[in-house]
């Protein structure tokens, strides 16, 4: 497969993460061609040039449409705020480019549908940036569940908490505006939803409650504005196979930094995992001897591939950006026609459907079936 030409739109936290992944995927894995970092777009030419020099891109522009039109660009990384995803991803697909778009798809379900329609029409690879499913530990948990290590799964609890909106006097910014979506359930809780999809398939029914811990926030230039979306949510869910699930999400949870606490209960045991300790999980098996029965902590190790591509010894640990490198390699494999594990626009739209069903449930105060 020829070396792919890369275009990057946006250079914030996730933009830098994509740039690191594109730079590192060849040294880490060795079995893919080194991508060519062709074109970078930012809001100003000055910022674009500065970031291009830092990240290693050949060209810089303040016009993202010029990047998409560049014939040397084969893949476009879209890492802009949520409300811009649809326009940029659709334009890239219509220009014949593959797309790697950060989650969520779009605040509007109609826009998300348009994104999928464009992907289908283009015949190109279009995927979403759900890198937590790439964790070697998560892959092993999936294997254990498939092997029946904890029997038949019957109940799941998952919590996602961070405290970046916990301070009531923190300035209002775009994530609190309706243009960015519903708040905790789409900007945020789509990550645990991606884990549920990866391990068990899509959500089939929901009933949800959402809250605003703070009614308004200060503005940088003075005054205050109402918070337009919800920073916390609680959701009861039904999954396939009769599995019940509970999802709780809070962007205003003091002390929590990157928590996705997953508890999986089965007929013969249980599994627990927390994203803040992403290099370990705990396994309880009811058929072990009563004298030693209890949770076993299992550390990430070279046996949990592709951990071995990064580190040759157990217990040293991968990080968030490493999971993005794994996701980047999966994308390159998908483009080459090889089997891969990614959240495509097809599956991403079903995750979006779950989110919008939660919002509908909250407003109508009832269970919503997802078909």
Q: What is the pLDDT, as a whole number, of residue 153? A: 98
Q: Could you list the pLDDT tens digit for every one of the 371 residues in the chain?
A: 689 999 999 999 999 999 999 999 999 999 999 999 999 999 999 999 999 999 999 999 999 999 999 999 999 999 999 999 999 999 999 999 999 999 999 999 999 999 999 999 999 999 999 999 999 999 999 999 999 999 999 999 999 999 999 999 999 999 999 988 899 999 889 999 999 999 999 999 999 999 999 999 999 999 999 999 999 999 999 999 999 999 999 999 999 999 999 999 999 999 999 999 999 999 999 998 888 899 999 999 999 999 999 999 999 999 999 999 999 999 999 999 999 999 999 999 999 999 999 999 999 999 999 98
Tokens 């250079």 belong to residue: 11
In angstroms, rounded to a whole number, what is the distance separating the alpha carbons of residues 332 and 346?
18
Instruction: Count Cα atoms within 13 angstroms, Cβ side, for 216.
Output: 7
What SS3 string covers 200-268? HCCEEEEEEEEECCCCEEECCCCCEEECCCECEEEEEEEEHHHCEEEEEEECCCCCCCCEEEEEEEECC
φ, ψ (nearest 5 deg) of residue 173: -140, -175
- The DSSP bridge partners found for residue 61 are 41
**What is the dihedral angle through the alpha carbons of 132, 136, 140, 146, rounded to the nearest 10 degrees?**
50
Q: What is the pLDDT, as a whole number, of residue 105? A: 94
| Cβ(7)–Cβ(73) below 8 Å | yes
Q: What is the pLDDT, as a whole number, of residue 180? A: 86
Q: What is the pLDDT, as a whole number, of residue 187? A: 85
Instruction: Classify residue 223 by burial, with Cβ atoms within 10 Å: 0-12, 13-18, 19+.
Output: exposed
Q: Report angle CA 201, 248, 270 to the nearest 5 degrees.
A: 60
In angstroms, rounded to a whole number, what is the distance separating the alpha carbons of residues 306 and 209?
38
Instruction: Count Cα atoms within 13 angstroms, Cβ side, for 34.
Output: 6
Q: What is the pLDDT, as a whole number, of residue 309? A: 98
- Rg value, the chain, Cα: 21
**What is the dihedral angle through the alpha carbons of 181, 185, 187, 193, rounded to the nearest 10 degrees?**
-130
In angstroms, rounded to a whole number, what is the distance separating the alpha carbons of residues 335 and 328?
11
- Spell out the domains of the chain, with CATH numbers in brackets: 5-129 (3.40.50.720), 135-318+339-369 (3.30.360.10)
| C-alpha distances in Å from residue 287, one per residue of 149, 269, 283, 284, 294 | 10, 8, 12, 9, 11
Other C-beta atoms within 10 Å of 107: how many? 23
Other C-beta atoms within 10 Å of 178: how many? 12
DSSP 297: E
């Amino acid at each position: 497969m020829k070396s792919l030409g890369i275009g990057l739109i946006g250079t914030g936290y996730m933009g830098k993460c994509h740039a690191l992944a594109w730079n590192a995927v060849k040294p880490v894995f060795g079995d893919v061609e080194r991508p060519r970092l062709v074109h970078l777009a930012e809001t100003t030419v000055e910022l674009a040039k500065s970031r291009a020099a830092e990240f290693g891109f050949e060209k810089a522009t303040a016009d993202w449409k010029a990047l998409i039109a560049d014939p040397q660009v084969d893949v476009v990384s879209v890492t802009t705020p949520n409300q811009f995803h649809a326009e940029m991803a659709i334009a890239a697909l219509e220009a014949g480019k593959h797309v790697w778009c950060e989650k969520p798809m779009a605040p509007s379900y109609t826009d998300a549908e348009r994104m999928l329609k464009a992907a289908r029409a283009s015949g190109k690879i279009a995927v979403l940036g759900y890198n937590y499913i790439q964790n070697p530990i998560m892959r092993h948990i999936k294997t254990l569940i498939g092997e029946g290590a904890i029997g038949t799964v019957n109940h799941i609890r998952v919590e996602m908490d961070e405290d970046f909106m916990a301070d009531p006097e923190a300035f209002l910014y775009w994530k609190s505006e309706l243009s960015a979506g519903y708040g905790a359930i789409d900007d945020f809780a789509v990550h645990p939803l991606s884990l549920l999809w990866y391990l068990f398939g899509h959500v089939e029914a929901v009933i949800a409650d959402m809250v605003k811990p703070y009614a308004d926030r200060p503005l940088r230039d003075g005054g205050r504005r109402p918070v337009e979306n919800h920073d916390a949510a609680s959701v009861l869910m039904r999954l396939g196979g009769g599995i019940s699930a509970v999802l709780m999400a809070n962007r205003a949870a003091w002390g929590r930094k990157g928590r996705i606490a997953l508890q999986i209960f089965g007929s013969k045991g249980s599994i627990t995992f927390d994203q803040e300790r992403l290099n370990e999980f705990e396994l309880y098996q009811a058929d072990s001897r009563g004298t030693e029965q209890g949770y076993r902590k299992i550390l990430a190790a070279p046996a949990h591939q592709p951990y071995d591509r990064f580190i040759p010894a157990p217990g040293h640990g991968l990080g968030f950006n490493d999971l993005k490198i794994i996701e980047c390699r999966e994308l390159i494999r998908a483009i080459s026609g090889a089997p891969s594990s990614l959240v495509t626009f097809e599956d991403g739209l079903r995750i979006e459907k779950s989110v919008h069903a939660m919002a509908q449930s909250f407003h109508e105060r009832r269970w919503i079936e997802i078909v």
